[in-house]
């Protein structure tokens, strides 16, 4: 691999800039000292690389790995600022997709994730169980749930709740307005041109679901509220 830092493709840029602070915040809320990342619905599983890139925000915050070969940037708008939190160590990487990618991304090739292929909703509990008990499973969806039929989307949350019967489970989402079940839309209308960033924590019968940001251009522009 070249020593020259490379910029990620546009879609990668946005996903990393949105996910890093949201995952770190979810881990902080759960008191987690280690996490397992579970990427749902994207064959390349690029979300699993989130801790392996460097992200510079326009307000001066830097998150991630300053020595990574992938450096990305994000514009912060409306006066907010992402939390300057360190992401706990990632001890497991799990991909849940309908099909396998033809080639692993360079950032995953040396340490390929555990992969589950098939129905992403039905496989979710098995994927969560693949994360060690002493780590927080963090399920991520980025513009993936829109690929599920609308009647099936509530089943995704049902599977999260079932998996949380014996442990805490986090879900970090970046989806179009109204696409992610249970994530507050703040009164925004569907197809408004932006997406909603949500953090959900499930533990037994207890749950907390918050909207923490809006984003545009698949995350390249971010309005973080909390």
pLDDT tens digits along 28-70: 999 999 999 999 988 788 899 999 999 999 999 999 999 999 9
Q: Which residue has the tokens 């995952």?
A: 23
- Residue pair 68/4 in contact (Cβ under 8 Å)? The answer is no
Q: Is residue 148 part of a domain?
A: yes
Q: Is residue 66 part of a domain?
A: no
Q: Is residue 60 part of a domain?
A: no
Tally of domains within the chain: 1
pTM of the model: 0.92
Q: What are φ and ψ of residue 37, in 5° steps?
A: -90, 135
Supply the range of the domain harboring residue 181: 17-50+75-224
Q: What is the pLDDT of residues 144-199, one digit of tens each?
A: 999 999 999 999 999 999 999 999 999 999 999 999 999 999 999 998 899 999 99
Q: Is residue 28 part of a domain?
A: yes
For residue 120 the two structure tokens come to 């992403």
E strand or H helix that includes residue 157: helix 153-163
Those residues whose C-beta lies under 8 Å from the C-beta of residue 181, and which sit 6 or more positions away, are 153, 154, 156, 157
Render the burial of 152-179: b for 16+ CB within 10 Å, e for the rest: ebebbbebbeebbeebbbbbbbbbbbbb
Determine the pLDDT at residue 4. Answer: 45
Q: Is residue 4 part of a domain?
A: no
Determine the pLDDT at residue 2. Answer: 40
The vertex-189 CA angle with 195 and 215, nearest 5°, equals: 20
Q: Is residue 10 part of a domain?
A: no
| Cα(20)–Cα(34) distance, integer angstroms | 14
- Residue pair 140/172 in contact (Cβ under 8 Å)? The answer is yes
| Cα(96)–Cα(113) distance, integer angstroms | 10
| Cα(169)–Cα(204) distance, integer angstroms | 9
Q: Is residue 59 part of a domain?
A: no
First to last CA, the chain: 37
CATH code for the domain of 153: 3.40.50
Q: Is residue 42 part of a domain?
A: yes
Locate all alpha helices (DSSP H) within 4-140, ordered by sequence: 10-30, 106-109, 124-129
DSSP secondary structure letter of residue 166? S
pLDDT of 226 > 80? The answer is no
| Cα(34)–Cα(161) distance, integer angstroms | 21
């Amino acid at each position: 691999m070249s020593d020259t830092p490379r910029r990620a493709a546009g879609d990668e840029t946005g996903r990393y800039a949105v996910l890093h602070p949201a995952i770190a915040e979810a881990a902080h809320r759960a008191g987690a000292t280690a996490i397992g990342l579970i990427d749902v619905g994207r064959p390349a599983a690029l979300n699993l690389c989130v801790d392996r890139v460097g992200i510079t925000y326009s307000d001066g915050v830097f998150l991630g790995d300053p020595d990574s070969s992938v450096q990305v940037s994000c514009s912060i708008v409306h006066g907010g600022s992402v939390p300057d939190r360190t992401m706990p160590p990632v001890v497991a990487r799990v991909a849940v997709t309908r099909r396998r990618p033809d080639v692993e991304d360079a950032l995953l090739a040396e340490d390929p994730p555990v992969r589950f292929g098939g129905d992403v909703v039905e496989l979710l509990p098995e994927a969560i169980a693949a994360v060690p008990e002493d780590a927080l499973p963090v399920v991520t969806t980025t513009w993936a749930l829109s690929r599920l039929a609308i009647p099936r989307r509530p089943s995704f949350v049902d599977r999260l709740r079932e998996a949380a019967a014996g442990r805490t489970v986090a879900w970090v989402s970046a989806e179009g307005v109204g696409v992610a079940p249970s994530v507050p839309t703040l009164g925004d209308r569907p197809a408004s041109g932006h997406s909603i960033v949500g953090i959900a924590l499930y533990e037994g019968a207890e749950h907390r679901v918050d909207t923490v940001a809006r984003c545009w251009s698949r995350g390249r522009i971010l309005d973080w509220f909390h």
